[in-house]
Amino acid sequence: TATAKIVGGVPADWGQLPFVVALESPRGQQLCGAAILNERWLATAAHSHQIVAIAGSLDPSSSASSSNASNRQVSEGAEVRLAPGYAQGTQLDLALIRLKRPFKWRNGIVEPVCLPKDRAAMDQLGTVAGWGWNDEEGVNMSNKLHRVQVPLMSRAECEKRFLAAGYAIPIDKTKICAGWPQGGQDACQGDSGGPLVVSQDGVFVLTGVVSGGIGCARPGLPGLYTNVAHFLPWILDIIKKRK
């Protein structure tokens, strides 16, 4: 089955990825990830709805009274906008969440990610981060934010990889694929909605949103991400109109 799926990664350090946000249920269950676009808006996967967003925390499960609590910011989602044409199970797996209380920028610990100006080059490494499973079986799980680097690949190469493994998955312009031929490093269950970023001119640019794949980190099977650049006009229209 297709799973929204960090395998083979390392723990993130403070300030490395200040735009990554944990999305939890109102009861405190870790659901998925998101990226900060501005003080009010987050980008995530389309199946994340009633949520509480936590920024400025490498371990969202830790208590608000723990060390580094001064960096922690919590806000409920007030409004969800789904990508035009989204229906559950379709490829348009992108949502924007408006926060009830705006996040405040804090010492490089809570900051927005940059949006892309154009389509990402397919010959570069991307970084994906999240609080999801560390293996496909969910045996090893971590409360700490993890990150991993994966190479972006062309749509044609991605389709070819899936076909070679027996999966006919059409890769259109709404998607980006990333992963190592040998597998071993990938996003995994619980990382859905988190950011895939590339470094351009010293800043991180939001290239993709974790959407799914076949298992986690399997050889020859790349991860699937929503292509943020394709939806850029829609994103800008919403986040500029609704502050």
Please identify every residue annotated as catalytic: 47, 93, 192
Instruction: List helix spans (H) across 19-164.
Output: 155-164
Q: Which two tokens stand for residue 64?
A: 């608000």
Contacts of 227 (CB under 8 A, 6+ apart): 119, 173, 174, 175, 176, 207, 208
Question: Are the CB atoms for 113 and 205 separated by under 8 Å?
Answer: yes
CA 69 to chain CA centroid, Å, is 23
Measured on CA atoms in the order 205, 211, 215, 219, is the torsion positive or negative? negative
Q: Is 74 exposed, middle or buried (0-12, 13-18, 19+ CB in 10 A)?
A: middle
Backbone dihedral angles phi then psi of residue 155, each to the nearest 5 degrees: -65, -40
Angle at 149 between CA 106 and CA 197, to 5 degrees: 50
Residue with tokens 């980006």: 176
Q: Are strands 146-153 and 175-178 parallel, antiparallel or unpaired?
A: antiparallel
Question: Are the CB atoms for 49 and 86 separated by under 8 Å?
Answer: no
Q: Is 137 exposed, middle or buried (0-12, 13-18, 19+ CB in 10 A)?
A: exposed
